[in-house]
Homo-oligomer: A and B are copies of this chain.
Amino acid sequence: MTVNLTTVLSSATRQVVISRDGPTVVIGERINPTGRKQVLAAFAAGDFEIARTDALAQVEAGAQMLDVNAGVPGADEPVMLRQVMQTVMAATDVPLCIDTADPVALAAALSFYKGKALVNSCNGEERSLKAVLPIVKEYGAAVIGLCMDDDGIPETPEARLAVAGKIIERAGKLGIPIEDVIIDPLALTMGADSHAGRIAMDTIELIIKEFDVNITMGASNISFGMPDRPYINSAFIAMAIHAGMTCPITNPLVTQVITAVLAADLAMGRDDYGMRWIKAFRKRQKAAGAAA
């Protein structure tokens, strides 16, 4: 297999490179009405100001890409996704991760997006592969492949690897290069199964050994139902980076989490002379000074 696969994403004016040779790319998760009542209510009312402020705050906190989800029950998703994306693109030029389960909304979004977007997501279900991959190919995007298929989320790392392999193969048959498939091993909550974190990390290692693709993960749900979640999330994100995760989807506004990412990059030897670490420290100091 090839080594050091690199995924290059872009907006009209900015490029982001994801690889295990470079710093971790944080994809900000907050522009998403799912589970955020305030966002849901605002979007439903046609008010997208919260998307603008969330975009700016996440980029300021260290996000290099932004996930954009506009899934409001009952709303016209193609229209609303476009409105949210345009709001975000007017506020910042970081590349977007277009997060929708609706192929029509996805195609519409990709048709006006300038640059190379990341699509969140397809999975190993036949229906998903057939609906999403041709659109990804048509618009020259990259895609996140979730390790689940028609039988659900496999329990073992080996079975999740098999799903990843299936997605990569099917993408390849359509002409989507392997470096444009980013795999999500799926981190379930440890509150339900205390081995959920370990299974996700072991899956990352298996997938990298076999395919060397970039790895993303929703790294916040792992601690659901547990106390002191930021401590768990920050340890887990550092460990997942050691395992090989390159572009977590997480909330950069949680200081412990974004700091764990920077510290993990430092420990992985991806922060020469600790310059990024020291710069972020000064920024925290300044923010603390301004707050006081």
Contact = CB atoms under 8 A, between A and B. Distances in A.
A266 interface: yes
Q: Which of A194, A227, A234, A260 gathers most chain B CB within 10 Å? A: A194
Contacts of A235: 234-235, 238, 259-260, 263-264, 266-267
Contact of A277 (B198, B201, B226, B268): B226
Interface residues of A, number: 39
A281 B225 CA distance: 13
Among A228, A256, A281, which residue has the most Cβ atoms of chain B within 10 A?
A228
Contact of A278 (B227, B242, B281): B227
A256 B236 CA distance: 14
A197 B264 CA distance: 9
A150 interface: no
A257 to B, nearest CB: 11
B236 A239 contact: no
B243 A231 contact: no
17 contacts: A190-B274, A194-B269, A194-B273, A194-B274, A195-B269, A199-B269, A222-B267, A227-B277, A232-B267, A234-B260, A234-B263, A235-B259, A235-B260, A239-B241, A239-B264, A239-B267, A242-B242
Going nearest first, the 6 A-B pairs with the smallest beta carbon separation are A235-B263, A198-B269, A197-B267, A195-B269, A235-B238, A239-B242
